[in-house]
Amino acid sequence: MSAVLGVFVGGRSTRMGGHPKGLLAAPDTGEALVVRAVRLARELGATPVLVGDAHAYDLVRCDVSVVCDDPPGVGPLGGLCGLLAFALACDMPFVTLDDLRALAVAHPGAACVAARRSDDAPWEPFFARYDAPRVLPVVRAAIAAGDRSLQRVMERAGAQSLARDARALDDWDTPDDVSRCRTL
């Protein structure tokens, strides 16, 4: 595989008290979540890149390039617009190499493939694969219209569903999320 896998790190982590979520320790290996995501990307045969403001990760970047939001200041859509390839949030500690492999091969030829917990659940736009030439116009149109809804972008792009174990889709947004995980 010669695809690029973007590891999204650019959030402000306000619900985590400003602590960069990608620096939290993975429950299975103890490594920083961002390091784990980069390792999984490489094991998949993809080229990992960090997406967003990656300054907090300078000490653990592992010789990984950074893709800046394009345009800046519009939230996750800016990062998605700057990357448009494989997308993985750095705060999803239970995604496995098998999950990434399934994403790589699901729905060949689809403009967009994303995981969701059920048919009526929201899309997981940062556990997804995008065909840039077909999805970029949709993202740019949303940004131009001031629409920052990732869910609407996924729908307009004709996203195809990838069913995954709900545990793989868990993410850590708050300290309570991390604590709850550690007690399971």
Predicted confidence band at 111 (pLDDT cuts at 50, 70, 90)?
very high
As a whole number, mean pLDDT of residues 151-177 equals: 90
pLDDT tens track for 134-146: 998 998 899 899 9
What is the pLDDT at residue 155? 96
Distance between CA 107 and CA 159 in Å, rounded?
10
User: Which pair of structure tokens corresponds to residue 148?
Assistant: 């920052």
β-bridge mates for residue 113, sequence order: 129, 160
pLDDT bracket for residue 109 (50, 70, 90): very high
Average pLDDT taken over every residue of the chain: 86
How confident is the model over 80-102, as pLDDT tens digits? 766 667 888 888 999 999 999 99
- Predicted TM-score (pTM) of this structure: 0.76
Q: For the segment 35-84, what is each residue's pLDDT rounded down to a tens digit? A: 999 999 999 999 998 888 888 888 776 688 887 767 777 777 776 766 66
Residues 122-130 have a mean pLDDT of 91
**Confidence tier at 124 by pLDDT (50, 70, 90):** very high
User: Any alpha helices (H) in 30-131, and if so which ranges?
Assistant: 33-44, 76-83, 97-105
Q: Which domains does the chain have, with CATH numbers?
A: 4-176 (3.90.550.10)
Please give the pLDDT value at position 83.
66
How many whole angstroms separate alpha carbon 41 and alpha carbon 5?
6
**Is the pLDDT higher at 69 or at 131?**
131
Question: Counting beta carbons within 10 angstroms of the beta carbon of residue 68, is it exposed (0 to 12), middle (13 to 18) or buried (19 or more)?
Answer: middle
